[in-house]
Amino acid sequence: MLSNIRIVLVQTYHPGNIGSAARAMKTMGLSELVLVNPRCFPDPEATRLAAGAQDIINTARITDSLKKAVSDCVQVVGASARLRSLPLPHYDEPAEMAKDIVAQTTNGPVALVFGRERSGLSKEEINCCSHQISIPANPDYGILNLSQAVQVLAYELHQASRRRQNAQTAPPSPLPMPTREQLDHFHQHLGRVMHASGFVIQPHTRTEEHLQAIFSRAQPTRKELSLLRGLLAAIERQLPPGDGAA
């Protein structure tokens, strides 16, 4: 279960935070680290602060975009202050998030995404996620270091994994879940049909964001997503020539 959980750090500024995050991961049984455009990596400071978790540092993957880092994931949770302007599902409790993520590992890779030390994740990066999570903390001083945030949520994932292993659970669903890449293709297809059909006559980001949130909550299987793509294709065939999309 834990081997299918990916920790993604976006544009980490201080290499020491990468090392400390790797140490936090290893203490909780996590091993896959992906770095999106780190300012400085590899770096001796990252290795020094990994303190025994150098294997995670050595196998860390580097990518140039968050979209690439999570394209094969069936669930992506962005850790940040809650952006109420975005309608994505939000976990109010880390334990609830951990339970869902661990359950999803039977369907494919899942990712927990952390943003920059100073500014966190951008709105565009949150849009690459299926859910949001915030860590409840002292409202008068709720500031956590990046590696501390990784440690808190990694602990919850480890606990959820232990509870699942010890519990008498039903067999995992045989129905595969779509990856983020497949969902992106679906949302692009839906957007084309909405514009071509006249449902949206001008750029209307909020409508598409709300629809994305609906499908994030529904969590359709790959078979259900294929059915929806078929429905969209049938609608496109009924549109006047030149209005549909290829």
Q: If pLDDT is split at 50, 70 and 90, which confidence band does 84 have?
A: low
Nearest to 32 by CA among 64, 9, 65, 66: 9
Percent of the chain with pLDDT over 70: 91
> How far is the C-alpha of 20 from the C-alpha of 7, rounded, in Å?
13
Residue 101 has which token pair?
């993520």
| Least confident residue range of 21-30, 37-46, 48-57, 193-202 | 193-202
Looking at the DSSP bridge assignments, the partners of residue 35 are 9, 62
Tell me what the pLDDT averaged over the chain comes to. 90
pLDDT on residue 206: 78
Q: If pLDDT is split at 50, 70 and 90, which confidence band does 246 have?
A: very low
Task: Please provide the CATH number assigned to the domain covering 180-237.
Answer: 1.10.8.590
If DSSP codes are grouped into helix, strand and coil, which group holds residue 172? coil
- 2-166: CATH superfamily: SPOUT methyltransferase, trefoil knot domain (3.40.1280.10)
pLDDT at residue 49 greater than cutoff 60 = yes
pLDDT digits (tens, 9 = 90+) for 208-241: 888 888 888 888 999 999 999 999 999 988 888 7
pLDDT on residue 197: 86
Looking at the DSSP bridge assignments, the partners of residue 116 are 120
Record the pTM: 0.81
Are 36 and 9 spatial neighbours (Cβ–Cβ below 8 Å)? yes
> How far is the C-alpha of 164 from the C-alpha of 169, rounded, in Å?
7
Q: Where are the domains of the chain?
A: 2-166, 180-237
